[in-house]
Amino acid sequence: MKPFTGSLIRPSLLLFFILLPSFAFKAGHPDPVKWILTKECTLKVNGSTNINKFSCIVPEYAQPDTLICYKDNKNGPIKITGSMALDVQKFDCKHAVMTNDLRKTLKAKIYPKIIIKFLNLSKYPDVYNREEAVKGAVTIELAGTVKRFEVDYKYVMNGNGNLKLIGTKQVNFSDFNISPPRKLGGMIKTNNELNVEFVLNVKTLN
Partner 1 sequence: MKRIILSGLIAGALLFILCYGGLYLGIRLFPALFMDYNNPLFNSDGNRDVFFYMHAFIISFALSWFWDRFKGLFHGHFILRGLEFGFVYAMVSLLPVMWITFSSLDITFFMVLSWFLYGFFQAVVAGTLFAKLNP
Min dist. Cβ of residue 182 to partner 1 (A): 5
Identity of the residue numbered 189: K
> Which residues in 15-74 contact partner 1 (CB under 8 A)?
49-52, 54
DSSP tag of 32: P
Min dist. Cβ of residue 86 to partner 1 (A): 20
d(CA 19, CA 13): 10
- Part in contact with partner 1 (CB under 8 A); list of ranges 8-16, 27-35, 135-143, 177-185: 177-185
Min dist. Cβ of residue 105 to partner 1 (A): 7
Neighbours of 102 (CB within 10 A): 21
> Which residues in 88-117 contact partner 1 (CB under 8 A)?
95, 97-98, 100-101, 103-105
169 binds partner 1 (CB under 8 A): no
In the bound state with partner 1, the residue whose beta carbon lies nearer, of 77 and 181, is: 181
In the bound state with partner 1, the residue whose beta carbon lies nearer, of 143 and 157, is: 143
Closest listed residue to residue 138, CA positions, set 116, 163, 167 = 116
d(CA 116, CA 137): 10
Q: Three-class SS of residue 70?
A: strand
- Part in contact with partner 1 (CB under 8 A); list of ranges 1-9, 70-78, 162-170, 178-186: 178-186
188 binds partner 1 (CB under 8 A): yes
In the bound state with partner 1, the residue whose beta carbon lies nearer, of 189 and 203, is: 189
d(CA 123, CA 79): 9
Site string for partner 1, 123-162 (x = CB under 8 A): ----------------------------------------
Rg of the chain over all Cα atoms, to the nearest angstrom: 23
Q: Are 47 and 68 in contact (CB under 8 A)?
A: no
User: How many distinct helices (H) and strands (E) make up the chain?
Assistant: 2, 13
d(CA 151, CA 67): 17
Neighbours of 35 (CB within 10 A): 24
186 binds partner 1 (CB under 8 A): yes
- Part in contact with partner 1 (CB under 8 A); list of ranges 5-13, 116-124, 135-143, 180-188: 180-188
- Binding residues vs partner 1 (CB under 8 A): 49-52, 54, 95, 97-98, 100-101, 103-105, 179, 181-188, 190
